[in-house]
Amino acid sequence: MPTTIPEQRLLVDASDREIIASLAKRFNSVKIIGTLKKEMGIPALDSKRWQELLEDRKSQAQKAGISVQMVEEIFEIIHKYALEEESKLEIIR
């Protein structure tokens, strides 16, 4: 296991790249879901789904031993941008 600061920073950098790749993957799915919602006339915001998702992510954070508040704030930001992304989409026929 790496024990020096530079070695740990390399691990942090790799984790950051994974986070960005995961966000890109997530937002690709957001675009597909948003397009499907527009085609079906469904609003972008599904409050019930959002609350269920948020509670699940907070529970995951607690189990992982990381700040529940931090995870909640991060997902609030992700959700804000997901809704913005969905609002930009047009129906493709």
Q: Which helix (H) or strand (E) holds 11?
A: helix 5-40
What's the pLDDT score for residue 88? 86
What's the pLDDT score for residue 93? 55
Tell me 61's DSSP state: H
If we measure between CA atoms, which residue out of 76, 58, 60, 77 comes closest to residue 68?
A: 58
Between 71 and 89, the higher pLDDT residue: 71
Tell me the pTM: 0.89
What's the pLDDT score for residue 87? 87
What's the pLDDT score for residue 61? 98
> Whole-angstrom Cα distance, residue 19 to residue 53?
18
Q: Return the CATH superfamily for domain 5-88.
A: Chorismate mutase (1.20.59.10)
**pLDDT tens-digit readout, 16-62:** 999 999 999 999 999 999 999 999 999 999 999 999 999 999 999 99
In the chain, what are the domain boundaries? 5-88
